[in-house]
Amino acid sequence: MHLDAVRIGTLLSGQFPAGEFSQRLDLLDPFKFKSRIISLKTLEAGSSLGYYRTYRLKEKAQIAVIPVGFNDGLALEVNNKATGLLDLLKILAKKILAYWNSPRFNIYVNIKGSSCCPIRGKVFMQMSMAEIPPDLDVEIGDEVELPVRKTLASKNLLRLYMKEGEAVKVESEDLTAYMVEKED
C-alpha cells in the first residue's frame, strides 16, 4: 500500500527509529527529569558508599545526595526476555561491565552542564549519590538532570510542562484535562 500518512512514534520523544537514513536527524528529547542537590559532603579516599558498602572511593571526592531513586524510576531498565543466544550474551556482557564499573555502563547525572558526574554506590529507593568532579563548583539546591526514562518515571511525580516559554504545573491525574484544555 502507498499511503500519504506517516507514523512518527518515538520521534516525538527524541528517539531515533530503526533503520538507516540518508539525512542526519537533529532530534531533541522534550522530556527532562530534574531534581536538586539536598546534601554535599567531602569524603576521603577509601570511604565506602551505598548499601553493603558497594562502592569505595579511589580518591578524595565531594559527594552530592539527590532525592531520586528506584521509586522515581532512576536506574530502572526495561526487562525484556532475551530473543536468542546472542541477545542473552549482550545482556550478560552489559551486566558484567556494569559490575566492573566500566565508565560506559555507569549512570551519569548532569549538574551545571557537566554530565561527568557518576552515580556512586547502589541507588536507594528514594535517594542516590553522585561524585562531583574536583573542578565543578556545586552547592546545595543546584539543579540536577537525571537519566530517567519517560516510560519508567513514576506516575506520582509532579509534572511541569512548558507552554510558550512558561512552566505550567500539572498533577498526573489532571494531564488529560490539561491537554484537552490547551488544544482549544
Q: What is the CATH number of the domain that holds 132?
A: 2.40.37.10
Give a yes or no: residue 141 inside a domain. Answer: yes
Tens-place pLDDT, residues 111-142: 998 888 999 988 999 999 999 998 899 999 99
| 143 and 159 assigned to the same domain | no
The parent domain of residue 179 ranges over 154-184
> What is the count of structural domains for the chain?
2
| 36 and 118 assigned to the same domain | yes
* Global pTM value: 0.73
39 confidence band (pLDDT: 50, 70, 90): very high
| 123 and 160 assigned to the same domain | no
pLDDT of residue 182: 41
Dist CA 61 CA 129 (whole Å): 12
Contacts (Cβ under 8 Å, ≥6 apart) of 101: 55
Give a yes or no: residue 172 inside a domain. Answer: yes
- DSSP line for 119-148: EES---SS-EEEEEPTT----TT-EEEE--
Residue 173 has pLDDT above 60, yes or no: no
| 123 and 44 assigned to the same domain | yes
